[in-house]
Amino acid sequence: MTSHTLSLTRLTTGRASRAVAVALAGSLALSACATSGNSTASAQCSSNTAQLSAAEMQLCKDSQVFNETVAGGAAAGAVAGILVGALVGAMTGDARNIAKGAVIGGVAGGIAGGVDGYITAKAQESGNNRVRMVEAMTRDVDADNTRLKALVNSSNQVLSDSRTRLERTTAEYKSGKTSLAQLESERTRLENNRSLMESSLESLRKKRDTYQEASQKFSGEGSASAQFDAKIKVLNTQIAQLEQNVSGMNAALTISKV
C-alpha cells in the first residue's frame, strides 16, 4: 500500500470516527431533552422536601423513574442506531459511508420515544429474532405496568390528601380563620402535585405510543404478539386512571376559587 493510500485511509477513517463521536454526542443531547420537560417538577421535589408528605415524596420518586426510563430509552436507541448505521456503511467498503451511516442511524435511533430507535435497540438485544424481540418488548411493558401501578397508587393518595387540605383551607378562608396567602399556598401545592402527574403522563404516553406502533409492526407473531397487546391494554387502563387523577386535581382547583 502506498503512502498516499495510507494517508487517504487514515483521513477517511478519521472522518468516520469523528462522525461516530458526533452521533454519540447527539444521543446524549437527545437523552437530556427527554428529561428537560420534567425539570420544573423535579425542582419542586428537591427544593421543599421538608414540606412534602410521605405520599408526595413517593409521587416525586415514581415520576422521576418514568422520566429517567424514557431518557435511557432514547440514549439506547441512538447508540443502537449508530452501530447499525455504521455497519451498513461499512458494507460498501467506503469509510465515508461508515461516517454517514453512523450519523443517520444515530439521529433516527435516538429520537426520544421513536419506534424505529426502540425496535433497533430490541433487534440488537434479541439477535434480530422477531419472536424474541416481541418477548423483550413485552417484558418492557410489564415492567412499566409494575412501575405505573405504584405511581397510580401514590397519585391516588396525593389527590385525596390535596383535595382534603384545599377544601379545609378554602372553608377556613371563607370563615375568616385563615389568610388568602395560606389558601394560595395550598393551591400552589396542589398545582405542583398535578404537574408531577402530568409530566409522568407525558412520558407514559410516549412509551405507550411506541409500544402500540411496535405492536402493529409485529402483529403476526402468534401468542407472543397477543401477550404484548394484552400488556399494552393494561398500560392504557392505568394511564386512564392517572388521567382521572389529574382531572380530579383540576376539579379541586376550580372549586377552591374565591
Give the pLDDT confidence of 209-253 residue by residue, as tens digits.
Answer: 999 999 999 988 899 999 999 999 999 999 999 999 999 999 999
Cell of 37: 420537560
pLDDT in the model for residue 225:
94
pLDDT in the model for residue 48:
61
Low-confidence stretches of the chain (pLDDT < 70) are: 1-44, 46-50, 69-113
**Is-contact 166 186, C-beta < 8 A?**
yes
pLDDT in the model for residue 51:
79
**Is-contact 196 59, C-beta < 8 A?**
yes
pLDDT in the model for residue 42:
56
CA torsion sign for 82, 30, 24, 101 is positive
Pick the closest to residue 87 from 76, 77, 97 (CA basis). Answer: 97
Q: In the chain, what are the domain boundaries?
A: 3-39+50-255
pLDDT in the model for residue 88:
54
DSSP for 186-253, written as a single string: HHHHHHHHHHHHHHHHHHHHHHHHHHHHHHHHTTTSHHHHHHHHHHHHHHHHHHHHHHHHHHHHHHHH
**Three-class secondary structure of residue 115 per DSSP:** helix
Residue 89: other Cβ atoms inside 10 A: 23
**Is-contact 111 145, C-beta < 8 A?**
no
**Is-contact 98 79, C-beta < 8 A?**
no
pLDDT in the model for residue 10:
46
CA torsion sign for 139, 54, 31, 35 is positive
**Is-contact 193 59, C-beta < 8 A?**
yes
DSSP for 75-91, written as a single string: HHHHHHHHHHHHHHHHT
pTM, two decimals, is: 0.69
pLDDT in the model for residue 145:
96
Cell of 71: 431518557
pLDDT in the model for residue 78:
53
